């Protein structure tokens, strides 16, 4: 290849390279300066202030400046042996699909007729959705195939993100945005008389997760692709996602969420990519080539079959894989039995196997002990590890290189068994010595902790393990044996401490502490916010931190601005692009918004910017108003302040405290004269979120909220000034309507309980302010946007500890008259028969206020007062919103992934060649392609 640039894209890159070379001379000086600045920033960070802004290579559109008719070609590969038949095929496959409107339209109708077999006379929006999605998928597949091939040839270190949940949300818009084709498709569909936005609404929302943890995994795979990391997400392809919530007679009812009613246009089922997963059975010693080995035999085998979804990055050609495993029976259907008339038993094994991946478990506290759940955990961990091991073995590198090429991130403890599975494969199948095998495991795995609540820490009874995974239990004992030896050397006779460190809890029945196992066998353990990581180190895993202080670290969570700003709030996205010189690169580098703010201020355009933001916010509020009308049949006024709290319902998150405040507000307005009422800051308080089906208190709180809402909304003295709405079935797609409409959002967990919380990031990025405690991500948001931009209240984590002790000693139990009145309203059944809350309230009053709902209430009311006052000063309010939006760069999931990559995974990006405008535009030299098999 000559040195001349072959394409416009390359030419631009070359320019950049040249620029960076010509600046070599001054580089050291500049570097010096940067280094100094960085040191300063780090110092600030130490002080708990701002973080150091990374210097990234600027992103830009891949297609900017090209005509829609421009043809793009694929990279060519050099092969050792030329096969004429293949040459012909390759020639036919050498160009990417055209991106012009007509070609897009043709591809949509072609899919409707030839893939979906629909006649021209019966095309409805659902078919248009599917045709559109399939047409987009075609484009994803080209990128996906090229990326996978490029990764295989270059064999870089890979990151595997194991998560039992991926709460993806709808995929069509996200794919179009990342492919930079949203406007083209909008135009294309407009010619069919169809609005793209209406087509988005036809997509079922894949809700394969409970809440924050699953959604985080979805944001992270988006960022991994965007930042060009060779990454795989591994999980379970559930048939039923988290249940659908309906409210009947004020109560939550759960309906099954079969999300595949319209099929799933995105997934690629790889029937040939399957692994056997064994359960039950027995272990015994055996001899292989004269060597004693341990084998695991018998039991039941099921097949895990790969269901892949392509994960495109934004403004890059890289496209990664989300691989979800679905369970199938491993043996063929038993025809003999069937013919003998034993229909039931012939089908039994088949049913049992497919149960494994059928349903996502809601995060009940009663999960432990559910055998099917442990089966799910092992099922996907085992298939994923086999897949990873096979991929590695193809490279023929020695086992000692395994950690050099692979790193695995455990998203919470649910996939912990994966590390035991790798150990098992290394020892039992490849006959490595324990020490070497364990060292490989240790250097490969990392673990993210997502909660410090003791009841949410996974433990499994030894008995259930013994039955289901007998060999894994032996290996866990072995790990623990060596670990305990180490502890004894270090802590001598401190048996309490050693007991706490042990992977096995000597309770009755004995339990395996999955979190301890993770810590022992991972190189890094991280929390998800600064305060949370601190608690992980100083409380939850204090004993471990004494042993291995350097193992513990923090990676503050982040969210993807592609979905959580651009897709959910298009008017705001357009505004930010407008003020960023018409360029949307801020979507890949959210820090740029700080420059936008500086520029707007310097040019004296801040007021104009704020006015436009206000207009955008109004549009978002009107969308929510419409949504409320459709789903709750209630009219709300968009000029009211929208006050929103959406998240899973849990005692520690304190929706109950918010509900008490709703009651307080209602009682106050009720007592006012008409004249006084006119001065009230008009508000709608929104709640949304699901309770785990078995969590009685959370369900009662939902019922109470709905009953209070019913009273408030039907009271003509009050409803002109205040309303309360419970938004049913909160999920990713409705979050995208709800979040951007907020003026204020509530993040009010008891300090020290919410590991991070990520909705607060989405709220602030779309221009609402937080009323919240010094907990989770709130703290770092305040550090970044300024404390005067958040309505803080409540006891901090140290005070919480102290007060809890006082409560326990019987020295505390304060309610006070303003709160007592709220309790009385419930106790006197003012909102209907609310007897179901009486015991709980009496418990609180009598010293059971573990989450400090009473103790924080007065301070909370004060903060609410400040919110009301400030909202009445729109100049101050909206300025704060806009400033906050522009200072949220730190909370992009791109930053979070960058941190994992640098500090935990030690992994480099691998950028796939961009499409070329000339044939033979660029070459990728390969070795012997024949060695690269399909997997």
| Smaller CB separation from ligand NBG, 163 or 768 | 163
Q: How far apart are CA 756 and CA 779, in angstroms?
A: 9
CB of 207 vs ligand NBG, minimal distance in Å: 15
CB of 528 vs ligand NBG, minimal distance in Å: 4
CB of 548 vs ligand NBG, minimal distance in Å: 22
CB of 223 vs ligand NBG, minimal distance in Å: 14
Q: Is the peptide bond before 509 cis (omega within 30 degrees of 0)?
A: yes
Q: How far apart are CA 110 and CA 130, in angstroms?
A: 11
| Smaller CB separation from ligand NBG, 375 or 450 | 450
| Smaller CB separation from ligand NBG, 330 or 376 | 376
Q: For 637-789, list the strands marked E by DSSP.
A: 641-646, 683-688, 722-727, 744-747, 769-772
Nearest to 365 by CA among 751, 648, 654, 759: 648
Which H or E element spans position 711? Answer: helix 696-713
Q: Which of 426, 528, 600, 881 binds ligand NBG (CB under 6 A)?
A: 528
- The residues in 50-89 that bind ligand NBG, with binding defined as CB under 6 A, are none
| Smaller CB separation from ligand NBG, 713 or 766 | 766
Is 653 in the active site? yes
Does 780 bind ligand NBG (CB under 6 A)? Our answer is no
- The residues in 377-416 that bind ligand NBG, with binding defined as CB under 6 A, are 412
Q: How far apart are CA 874 and CA 893, in angstroms?
A: 31
Task: Note the maximum CA span of the chain.
Answer: 95
Does 779 bind ligand NBG (CB under 6 A)? Our answer is no
Q: Is residue 852 left, alpha or beta, with left meaning phi > 0 and alpha meaning psi from -120 to 50?
A: left
Nearest to 567 by CA among 173, 123, 927: 173
Does 746 bind ligand NBG (CB under 6 A)? Our answer is no
Q: How far apart are CA 759 and CA 752, in angstroms?
A: 17
In DSSP notation, 213-277 reads HHHHHHHHHHHHHHTT--EEEEEE--SEEEEEEEEETTEEEEEEEETTTT--TT-EEEEEEEEEE
Does 724 bind ligand NBG (CB under 6 A)? Our answer is no
Binding mask 146-185 for ligand NBG (x = CB under 6 A): ----------------------------------------
| Smaller CB separation from ligand NBG, 663 or 761 | 761
Is 450 in the active site? yes
Q: Which of 381, 658, 758, 916 binds ligand NBG (CB under 6 A)?
A: 758
Q: Which of 755, 770, 803, 841 binds ligand NBG (CB under 6 A)?
A: 755
CB of 778 vs ligand NBG, minimal distance in Å: 11
Q: How far apart are CA 674 and CA 661, in angstroms?
A: 21
Does 776 bind ligand NBG (CB under 6 A)? Our answer is yes
Q: Which residue has the tokens 């379970």?
A: 236
**Residue of 762, 789, 887, 922 with catalytic role:** 762
| Smaller CB separation from ligand NBG, 758 or 898 | 758
Pick the stretch among 109-117, 212-220, 722-730, 763-771 that binds ligand NBG (CB under 6 A). 212-220
**Residue of 414, 450, 665, 723 with catalytic role:** 450
Residue pair 308/268 in contact by the 8 Å Cβ criterion: yes
| Smaller CB separation from ligand NBG, 387 or 655 | 655
The tokens for 453 are: 């609540």
In DSSP notation, 450-515 reads ----GGGS-EEEHHHHHHH-HHHHHHHHHHHHHHHHHHHHHHTT-HHHHHHH-SEE-SSS-EEEHH
Q: Which of 213, 324, 649, 854 binds ligand NBG (CB under 6 A)?
A: 213
Cα–Cα distance list, 819 to 12, 35, 429, 813, 815 (Å)? 65, 54, 65, 12, 6
Q: Which of 757, 794, 889, 915 binds ligand NBG (CB under 6 A)?
A: 757
Nearest to 880 by CA among 610, 559, 608: 610
Looking at beta carbons, which residue is closest to ligand NBG? 212
Pick the stretch among 228-236, 275-283, 583-591, 756-764 that binds ligand NBG (CB under 6 A). 756-764
Pick the stretch among 24-32, 95-103, 208-216, 541-549 that binds ligand NBG (CB under 6 A). 208-216
Is 19 in the active site? no
Q: Which of 104, 216, 385, 853 binds ligand NBG (CB under 6 A)?
A: 216
Pick the stretch among 245-253, 266-274, 685-693, 751-759 that binds ligand NBG (CB under 6 A). 751-759
3-state SS record for 385-444: HHHHHHHHHCCCCCHHHHHHHEEEEEECCCCCHHHHHHHHHHHHHCCCCHHHHHHHHHHH
| Smaller CB separation from ligand NBG, 444 or 749 | 749
With H, G, I as helix, E, B as strand and everything else as coil, classify residue 353. Answer: helix
Does 754 bind ligand NBG (CB under 6 A)? Our answer is yes
Does 523 bind ligand NBG (CB under 6 A)? Our answer is no
- The residues in 536-575 that bind ligand NBG, with binding defined as CB under 6 A, are 557
Q: Which of 456, 667, 845, 917 binds ligand NBG (CB under 6 A)?
A: 456
CB of 351 vs ligand NBG, minimal distance in Å: 30
| Smaller CB separation from ligand NBG, 684 or 779 | 779
Does 451 bind ligand NBG (CB under 6 A)? Our answer is yes
CB of 226 vs ligand NBG, minimal distance in Å: 19
Is 762 in the active site? yes
Does 772 bind ligand NBG (CB under 6 A)? Our answer is no
| Smaller CB separation from ligand NBG, 181 or 216 | 216
**Residue of 132, 316, 444, 758 with catalytic role:** 758
In DSSP notation, 132-191 reads HHHHHHHHHHHHHHHHHHHHHHH---EEEEE-S-B-----HHHHHHHTT-HHHHHHHHHT
Nearest to 728 by CA among 752, 750, 747, 709: 709
CB of 749 vs ligand NBG, minimal distance in Å: 8
| Smaller CB separation from ligand NBG, 194 or 645 | 645
Taking the CA atoms of residue 782, residue 783, residue 785 and residue 787 in that order, the dihedral angle to the nearest 10 degrees is 50
Is 288 in the active site? no
CB of 756 vs ligand NBG, minimal distance in Å: 4
CB of 753 vs ligand NBG, minimal distance in Å: 8
Q: Which of 307, 450, 530, 699 binds ligand NBG (CB under 6 A)?
A: 450
| Smaller CB separation from ligand NBG, 386 or 448 | 448
Q: Is residue 266 left, alpha or beta, with left meaning phi > 0 and alpha meaning psi from -120 to 50?
A: alpha
Alpha helices (H) along 23-78: 24-46
Estimate to the nearest angstrom the gap between the alpha carbon of 657 and the chain centroid: 27
Residue pair 441/434 in contact by the 8 Å Cβ criterion: no
Does 362 bind ligand NBG (CB under 6 A)? Our answer is no
Q: 360 forms bridges with which residues in the sheet?
A: none
CB of 104 vs ligand NBG, minimal distance in Å: 37
Q: How far apart are CA 298 and CA 649, in angstroms?
A: 43
Is 137 in the active site? no
- The residues in 1-30 that bind ligand NBG, with binding defined as CB under 6 A, are none
Indicate the pairing of strand 790-792 with strand 769-772: parallel
**# binding residues, ligand NBG (CB under 6 A):** 16
Nearest to 440 by CA among 449, 430, 450, 455: 430
| Smaller CB separation from ligand NBG, 216 or 853 | 216
Cα–Cα distance list, 548 to 525, 542, 544 (Å)? 10, 10, 6
**Residue of 648, 723, 789, 922 with catalytic role:** 648
Query: Annotated active-site positions, please?
Result: 450, 647-648, 653, 758, 762
Enumerate binding residues for ligand NBG (CB under 6 A): 211-213, 216, 412, 450-451, 456, 528, 557, 754-758, 776
């Amino acid at each position: 290849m000559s040195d001349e640039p072959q394409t416009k894209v390359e030419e631009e890159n070359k320019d950049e390279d040249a620029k960076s070379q010509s600046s070599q001379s001054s580089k050291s000086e500049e570097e010096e300066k940067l280094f100094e600045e960085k040191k300063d920033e780090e110092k600030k960070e130490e002080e708990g202030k701002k973080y150091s802004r990374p210097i990234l290579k600027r992103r830009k559109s891949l297609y900017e400046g090209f005509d829609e008719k421009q043809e793009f070609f694929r990279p060519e590969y050099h092969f050792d042996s030329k096969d004429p038949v293949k040459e012909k095929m390759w020639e036919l496959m050498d160009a990417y699909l055209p991106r012009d409107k007509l070609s897009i339209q043709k591809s949509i109708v072609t899919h409707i007729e030839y893939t979906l077999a629909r006649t021209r006379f019966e095309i409805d929006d659902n078919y248009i959705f599917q045709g559109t999605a399939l047409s987009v998928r075609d484009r994803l597949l080209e990128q996906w195939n090229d990326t996978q091939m490029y990764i295989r040839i270059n064999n870089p270190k890979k990151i595997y993100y194991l998560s039992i949940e991926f709460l993806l949300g709808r995929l069509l818009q996200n794919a179009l945005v990342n492919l930079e084709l949203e406007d083209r498709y909008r135009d294309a569909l407009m010619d069919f008389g169809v609005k793209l936005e209406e087509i988005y609404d036809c997509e079922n929302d894949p809700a394969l997760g409970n809440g924050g943890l699953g959604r985080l995994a979805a944001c992270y795979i988006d960022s991994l692709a965007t930042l060009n990391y060779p990454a795989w997400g591994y999980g379970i392809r559930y048939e039923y996602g988290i249940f659908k919530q309906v409210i009947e007679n004020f109560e939550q009812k759960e309906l099954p969420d079969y999300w595949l009613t319209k099929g799933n246009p995105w997934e690629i089922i790889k029937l040939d990519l399957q692994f056997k997963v064994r359960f039950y059975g027995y272990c015994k010693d055996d001899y292989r080539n004269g060597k004693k080995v341990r084998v695991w035999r018998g039991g039941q085998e099921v097949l895990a079959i790969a269901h892949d979804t392509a994960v495109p990055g934004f403004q890059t050609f890289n496209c990664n894989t989300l691989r979800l495993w679905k369970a199938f029976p491993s043996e063929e259907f038993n025809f003999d039995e069937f013919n003998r008339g034993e229909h039931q038993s012939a089908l039994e094994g088949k049913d049992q196997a497919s149960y494994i991946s059928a349903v996502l478990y809601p995060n009940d506290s009663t999960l432990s002990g559910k055998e099917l759940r442990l089966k799910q955990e092992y099922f996907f961990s085992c298939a994923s590890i086999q897949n990873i091991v096979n991929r590695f073995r193809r490279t023929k590198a020695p086992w000692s290189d395994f950690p050099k090429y692979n790193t695995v991130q455990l998203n919470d403890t649910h996939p912990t068994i994966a590390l035991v599975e790798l150990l098992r494969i290394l020892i039992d199948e490849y006959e490595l010595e324990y020490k070497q095998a364990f060292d490989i495991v240790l250097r490969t795995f990392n673990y993210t902790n997502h909660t410090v609540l003791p009841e949410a820490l996974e433990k499994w009874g030894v008995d259930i393990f013994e039955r289901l995974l007998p060999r894994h239990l032996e290996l866990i004992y072995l790990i623990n044996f060596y670990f305990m030896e180490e502890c004894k050397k270090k802590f001598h006779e401190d048996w309490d401490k050693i007991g706490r460190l042990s992977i096995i809890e000597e309770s009755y029945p004995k339990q395996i502490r999955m979190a301890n196992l993770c810590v022992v066998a991972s190189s890094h353990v991280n929390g998800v916010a600064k305060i949370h990581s601190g608690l992980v180190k100083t409380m939850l895993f204090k004993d471990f931190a004494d042993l291995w202080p350097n193992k513990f670290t923090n990676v503050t969570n982040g969210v993807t601005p592609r979905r959580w700003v651009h897709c959910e709030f298009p008017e705001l996205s357009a505004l930010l692009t407008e003020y960023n010189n018409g360029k949307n690169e801020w979507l890949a580098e959210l820090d740029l918004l700080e420059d936008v703010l500086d520029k707007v201020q310097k040019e004296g355009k801040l007021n104009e910017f704020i006015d436009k933001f206000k207009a955008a916010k109004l549009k978002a509020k009107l969308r929510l108003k419409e949504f409320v009308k459709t789903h709750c049949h209630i009219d709300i006024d968009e000029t009211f302040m929208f006050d929103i709290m959406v998240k899973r319902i849990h005692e520690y998150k304190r929706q109950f405290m918010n509900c008490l405040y709703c009651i307080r507000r209602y009682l106050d307005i009720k007592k006012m004269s008409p004249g006084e009422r006119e001065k009230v800051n008009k508000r709608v308080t929104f709640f949304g979120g699901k309770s785990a089906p078995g969590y009685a208190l959370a369900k009662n709180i939902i019922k109470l909220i709905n009953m209070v809402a019913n009273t408030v909304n039907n009271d003509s003295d009050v409803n002109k000034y205040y309303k309360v709405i419970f938004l049913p079935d909160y999920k990713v797609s409705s979050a995208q309507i709800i979040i951007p409409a907020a003026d204020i959002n509530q993040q009010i967990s008891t300090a020290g309980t919410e590991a991070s919380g990520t909705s607060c990031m989405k709220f602030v990025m779309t221009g609402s302010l937080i009323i919240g405690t010094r907990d989770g991500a709130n703290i770092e948001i305040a550090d970044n946007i300024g404390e005067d931009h958040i309505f803080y209240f409540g006891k901090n984590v140290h005070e919480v500890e102290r007060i809890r002790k006082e409560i326990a000693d019987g020295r505390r139990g304060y309610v006070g008259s303003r709160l007592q009145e709220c309790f009385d309203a419930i106790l006197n059944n003012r909102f209907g028969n609310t007897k179901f809350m009486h015991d709980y309230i009496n418990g609180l009053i009598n010293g059971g206020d573990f989450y400090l709902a009473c103790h924080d209430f007065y301070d909370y009311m004060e903060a609410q007062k400040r919110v009301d006052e400030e909202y009445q000063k729109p100049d101050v309010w909206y300025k704060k919103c806009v400033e906050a939006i522009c200072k949220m760069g730190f909370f992009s999931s791109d930053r979070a992934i960058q941190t994992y990559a640098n500090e935990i995974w030690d992994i480099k990006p691998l950028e796939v060649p961009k499409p070329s405008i000339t044939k033979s535009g660029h070459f990728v030299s390969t070795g012997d392609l024949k060695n690269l098999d399909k997997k």
